[in-house]
Amino acid sequence: MRDLTTLPDLRLALVQTAPVWQDPAASHAHFARLLEQARGADLVILPEMFSTGFSMDAAALAEEEQGPSRAWMLEQAARLDAVVVGSVITRAADGSYRNRLYWARPDGSCAHYDKRHLFRMAGEHEHYAAGSERVLLEVKGWQVRPLVCYDLRFPVWSRDPHHTDLLLYIASWPAARRNQWNRLLPARGIENLCYVAAVNRIGADGNGYPHAGDSQVLDFLGDSLLAAGDAEGVFQVSLSAQALARFRMRFPAYRDADEFELKV
C-alpha cells in the first residue's frame, strides 16, 4: 500500500446542472459561467455527456478525438489551473462512437477513459462501442479511477482497494432510480476503502426524463462529506489523504481481498 501521509489535501468542485440538449456551444457557454465558482479546486467534475445531454444520436453529435468539447475542457483547465473531467460523444480513430471521459490537465495534456458498461435499457449498446481498459489517473499525487454512470452497478470494474484513493463517477442517472444511486455509491467507498465523488445532472433531458442530481462526496466509511441534493451549482469539498491513510492502517481489510483477473 502506498504512503499517503505526505500528500496534500485534494479540493474537488462538483458541477451540478443541466446540459443544453444537443447543443454543445450553448452547453459550453453555460458551464463556463458556472466554472467561475470552481476556482481554487484541484479537480473540477462535470456530468456525463455534459455538452449534449445523454443522447443516442451519436452519428449526428459525435466530435472527432481532437474536437471542440475536448479543446474547451483544456481551455477551462488552463484558466482554472485544475484538472477538468467530463464525458463527450466522440468518434474514435477506428470510426466507432464512444462515450468518452476526458481528463483535461492545465498543462495542455489530456487522458481519456471510454465507458465500459453501456446502458442497454436506453439502447446505448446499439449506438456506442464499449471501452475495454480501466484507467488510473493522478492529480497532486492522488490516484483517481474515473468511471461513467452505469459502471456504478458493476463492482468488479470499480474494484481496486490497493491503489485507488478516489473513485470518480460522472452520470446522467435518472430520478426514477435515485435510490439505487444513493445506495450503491457508499458501497463502492466502503468496499474499496477509498473516497467516492459522483456528479449527476439535474432537470429533464430532451426525451423528458427527469434527473434528481444527488451529486455527492463520500468517505471510506461511506459517510457523506458533501450532498448537493437537487440544487444547481458548484459544490466544493476537500479530501484528506492523512485521514485515509490512518483509516487504512487501522482497518487494513484490503489485505484479505480476493485475487481475481478481469476478462474483457
Tell me the pLDDT tens digit for each residue of 37-52: 999 999 999 999 999 9
* The pLDDT of residue 2: 79
Judging by beta carbons within 10 Å of its beta carbon (0-12, 13-18, 19+), is residue 223 exposed, middle or buried? exposed
Q: Give the residue numbers marked as catalytic.
A: 48, 115, 149
Calpha distance 117→191 (Å, rounded): 20
* The pLDDT of residue 57: 98
Check pLDDT > 90 for residue 259: no
Instruction: Read off the C-alpha cell for 123.
Output: 439502447
* CATH number, span 10-256: 3.60.110.10
Check pLDDT > 80 for residue 193: yes
pLDDT, tens digit, 9 for 90 and up, residues 124-142: 999 999 999 999 999 999 9
- Domains of the chain by residue range: 10-256
Directed axis angle between helix 68-80 and helix 24-35, to 10°?
10
Check pLDDT > 90 for residue 1: no
SS3 204: coil
